[in-house]
Amino acid sequence: MAFEPATFGQKELNSVKQRFGIIGNAPSLNYALSVAMRVAPTDLSVLITGESGVGKEVFSKIIHNLSPRKHNSFIAVNCGAIPEGTIDSELFGHEKGAFTGATDMRKGYFETVSGGTIFLDEIGEMPVSTQARLLRVLETGEFIKVGSSKVQKTDVRVVAATNVDLLENVQQGKFREDLYYRLNTVPLFVPPLRERGEDIHLLFRKFTTDFADRYRTQPVRLSPEAVQLLNDYDWPGNVRELKNVAEQISVLAVDRAIGAEELMPFLPNQQSRLPAIYKSQAQGTPDMSEREIMYKLLFDMRKDLNDLKSFVLRMADVTNMPTESNDFRDDFGKEEQLDNHLDLIQDPEKNPIVISQATPRYSESAPVDEEESLSIADKERELIIKALKKHKGKRKDAALDLGISERTLYRKIKEYHIDE
C-alpha cells in the first residue's frame, strides 16, 4: 500500500508534532509522520522499522491516539525482554496448573487490551512458536490460553516494530514469512538521526533547555563549529544518544558556551577516527557536511606540515650547513620549493621523517660527514630538548623560541618520549 507524503499540510503536521513532542522538520520525518496519521483511523496492522533509539514507540502512540481506539487501552510489550518460556503466557494468558508455578489463572495482554492497541516492540525476537499464535490472532482474532482448549475472541489492533531486517530473518528461518507479510500491511520507516540534518541541533537545544528548566541553570550554547561537529557525528544511538550527550554536557561543562574542542570529548571516538562519508538512505548521495570535516582535517594537516618545515629550516643552523652568499631558505628558493625535496613525510613513531632527495648545494671543498644522521625526527627531538633546558621546562617559552604552537610542542614531547 502506497501513501503520498503531501496528504497533510504543514499546519496539521505541526499540530501533531506539538501534541506528541516531536521536534524536527526533516522531509523523511514528515513523511513518516504523514503515514502514521493516514493509517491511524484504520484497523490495519503496521510494521514500524528503524534503528534503535529513533523513537518507534512514539509513532505507535500516535497511531493509537489518532484512531477510534484512543479511549481504550494501549500497551507496549518488548518481545526481546520476555523469556521464551513465558512469552505465550504473557501475551495469551494461562490456566491454573498449566505449568509449574501456574497457581492461578492469568489473563494475557490480548485479552486485557481487547478493543485497544498492542505495540509489539522487537518483534524479530519473538520465538517461532509464539509467531504462529500471533498469526492466528491477526487472521481470525482468536487465541487459546496456555493449558486451555477453549477458543477466545479478541479485538486488538497490532502495531509491531523492529530494528533488524525481518526479510533476512525470514530467509534464515527465524521469522515466519506469512506473519511478516501480515504485519507489514502498512510499512512505516522512521529515519535515523544522522539523516535529519538541522533537526539534530533543534533536538539538542530542546534537551538542554528542558534540563536547564528542571534544575534551574543556564542552558549551554554551541558555537557554529560545535553545531557543525554535532551535525557531522553519525549518532549510532540516535535520539536516545543525543539526549544523553546533551544532559552530560549540561552537567559537566564549566562554561555555558561550548566550542568544538569542548564538545569533542562527549562524542565517542571523535579524536581517533577519520570522518566517514555516510550515504543518505533516501538520496544515496554523500552528506555535504561530512566534506566540511574532511576539509578541516586537511587544513590541520597543512598547519602541521608548516611546523615541520620550520624545523627543517632550523636544522640547517644546527648542522652548520655552508650558506655561501645566501641562507638555507634562499639556497632552496621559496618555501614551496622545499616540498620538491621532501620525498615523503610519515609518522615519526613508525618511520622517522627523512629527506631523501633534498641534497644541499655544498661547495666542492666542504667536507661531508657521511655518518651524520639526516633524520628530521632526531633533529626535532634535539631542538626540543635544548629549548626546554634553555627555558627551564617552560613549554610556552620553549614553543615561542622554536616558532611553533604550544599544542604542537606538547604533541612532539609525547611523540619523542622526552622527559621534562
Chunked mean pLDDT (size 10), the chain, 420 residues: 54 92 94 96 96 95 96 95 91 88 89 96 94 95 92 96 94 95 94 94 95 92 94 94 94 91 83 39 43 60 69 61 44 44 44 44 44 68 86 83 81 80
Q: Is residue 349 included in any domain, yes or no?
A: yes
Q: Are residues 79 and 182 in the same domain?
A: yes
Find where cell 620550520 sits.
310
Q: Return the closest-CA partner of residue 162 out of 148, 141, 179.
A: 179
Distance CA 121, CA 417 (A): 53
- pLDDT at position 402 is 82
- pLDDT at position 406 is 79
Q: Are residues 376 and 395 in the same domain?
A: yes
Q: Are residues 330 and 379 in the same domain?
A: yes
Q: Is residue 175 included in any domain, yes or no?
A: yes
The number of folded domains in the chain is 3
Q: Is residue 297 included in any domain, yes or no?
A: no
- pLDDT at position 299 is 59
Q: Are residues 179 and 203 in the same domain?
A: no
Q: Are residues 112 and 210 in the same domain?
A: no
Q: Are residues 173 and 200 in the same domain?
A: no
- pLDDT at position 366 is 44
Range of the domain at 379: 304-415
Q: Are residues 162 and 68 in the same domain?
A: yes
Distance CA 413, CA 418 (A): 5
Q: Which residues of 276-313 are buried (b: 16+ CB within 10 A; e: fewer)?
A: eeeeeeeeeeebebbebbeebeeeeeeeeeebbbebbb
Q: Are residues 176 and 325 in the same domain?
A: no
Sign of CA dihedral 35, 237, 157, 136: positive
Q: Are residues 112 and 259 in the same domain?
A: no
Q: Is residue 403 included in any domain, yes or no?
A: yes
Q: Are residues 166 and 32 in the same domain?
A: yes
Q: Is residue 296 included in any domain, yes or no?
A: no
- pLDDT at position 1 is 44
Q: Are residues 249 and 125 in the same domain?
A: no
- Of 172, 191, 210, the domain-final residue: 191
- Of 286, 321, 349, the domain-final residue: 286
Q: Are residues 57 and 102 in the same domain?
A: yes
